[in-house]
Amino acid sequence: MDRRPPARPSSPGPRADRQATGRYGEELAVEALRRAGLTVRERNWRSPVGEIDIVAEELAPDLLQDGQPVTWLVLVEVRTRRGTAYGTAREAFTPRKQEQLRRVAAHYVQETGWQGPWRIDAVAVQLDGRGRPVQIEHIRHAIVG
């Protein structure tokens, strides 16, 4: 398996640059999730309600099952920021965005018929001004309720 980080984005215009930065952040997030033991099932799942960046699974304790390990569905939102002029990647998880993610996650669970435990995680990818990773933070159970 190639352990080199994905190539940093380089694109001509502001919108293309944002999209490339987002894709780069998602690649870094996938790597971080895999290192943490999660299995990525799909990426960029779309519905009329919205999008889920990464759908993964993790074998983890379920307190409703006396802490026995079970497969959790993990729906992951990735936020990537280059520099801090518009806030950090972590700060991008606004209350409005969290509410949208709750709706999309509930729609995914209903549409797929998932019967086990599930949660919404977040990955905040902070890049420096030149697009190099500074911090990648996996936040488990980032959005509740």
pLDDT of residue 12: 47
Class for domain 14-143, per CATH? alpha beta
Question: How far from 14 is each of 18, 19, 94, 107, CA to CA, in Å?
Answer: 6, 9, 23, 32
pLDDT of residue 4: 56
96 vs 12, residue with greater confidence: 96
Pair 37, 96: CB distance under 8 Å = no
Would you list the DSSP string of 40-92?
EEEEEEE-SS-EEEEEEEEEEEEGGGTTEEEEEEEEEEEEEEESSTT--TGGG
What percent of the chain stands above pLDDT 70? 88
Average pLDDT for residues 74-84, to the nearest whole number? 93
36 vs 7, residue with greater confidence: 36
Average pLDDT for residues 90-108, to the nearest whole number? 92
Structural domain boundaries of the chain?
14-143
**In whole numbers, what is the pLDDT of the chain averaged over residues?**
89
pLDDT of residue 57: 98
Average pLDDT for residues 54-78, to the nearest whole number? 93
Give the CA dihedral 54, 56, 58, 64, nearest 10 degrees. Answer: 90
Give 64's pLDDT tier (boundaries 50, 70, 90). Answer: confident
